[in-house]
Structure 1
Amino acid sequence: MILAVVGGKGGVGKSTVAFGVAAELDAVCVDADLGMADLPERRGPDLHDVLAGRAAAVEAVDESGPVDLLPCGRTLAGARASDPRALRAALSAVEAEYGRVVVDCPAGLGRDSGAALAAADACLLVTTAERAAVADALRTRELARALDAGLVGVVVDFAEETGPLRGRFGAPATALPESEAVRRATRHGLPVGEVAPESVVAERLEEVAALVQRSTRSV
Structure 2
Amino acid sequence: MIVAVSGGKGGVGKSTVSLNLARELDAVVVDADLATADLPRGSGADLHDVLAGRADPLEAVDSFGSIRILPCGRTLAGARASNVSELERVVDRLERECSRVVIDCPAGLARDVGTQLKCAHVAVLVTTPTEAALVDALRTREIALELDTPIASIVCNRAAADDSEQLTARVERELGAPTAVIEECSAVDDAMARWQPVRDAHPDCDAVDAFEAVAHSIERCEKRLSGRIGVL
Contact 2:9/2:109 (<8 A) preserved: no
Runs of 5+ unmatched residues, structure 1: none
The equivalent of 2:210 in structure 1 is 204
Q: What is the rounded CA distance, in whole Å, between the counterparts of 1:178 and 1:216 in structure 2?
A: 29
The equivalent of 1:216 in structure 2 is 222
Give the CA deviation at 1:163: 4.4
Letter in 2 for 1:143: I
CA displacement 1:161-191 (0-9 Å, x = unmatched): 1242231111111100011111111211111
Q: How does 1:180-191 map to 2 (within 5 A)?
A: 180-191=186-197
Q: Counterpart of 1:111 in 2: which secondary structure? A: coil
TM (normalized to structure 2)?
0.91
Pairing partner for 2:184 from 154, 159, 178: 178
Runs of 5+ unmatched residues, structure 2: 227-232
Q: How does 1:125-136 map to 2 (within 5 A)?
A: 125-136=125-136
Q: How does 1:148-187 map to 2 (within 5 A)?
A: 148-159=148-159, 160=161, 161=164, 162-187=168-193
Q: What is the rounded CA distance, in whole Å, between the counterparts of 1:198 and 1:52 in structure 2?
A: 42
The equivalent of 2:32 in structure 1 is 32
TM (normalized to structure 1)?
0.96
Contact 1:61/1:69 (<8 A) preserved: yes
Q: Counterpart of 1:63 in 2: which secondary structure? A: strand
Q: Counterpart of 2:152 in 1: which secondary structure? A: strand
Contact 1:33/1:106 (<8 A) preserved: yes
Q: Counterpart of 2:23 in 1: which secondary structure? A: helix
Give the CA deviation at 1:203: 1.6
Letter in 2 for 1:17: V
Contact 1:87/1:116 (<8 A) preserved: yes
Structural RMSD (CA): 1.1
Q: What is the rounded CA distance, in whole Å, between the counterparts of 2:84 and 2:111 in structure 1?
A: 8
Q: Larger deviation: 156-165 or 94-103?
A: 156-165
The equivalent of 2:67 in structure 1 is 67
Identity %: 50
Q: What is the rounded CA distance, in whole Å, between the counterparts of 1:185 and 1:89 in structure 2?
A: 32
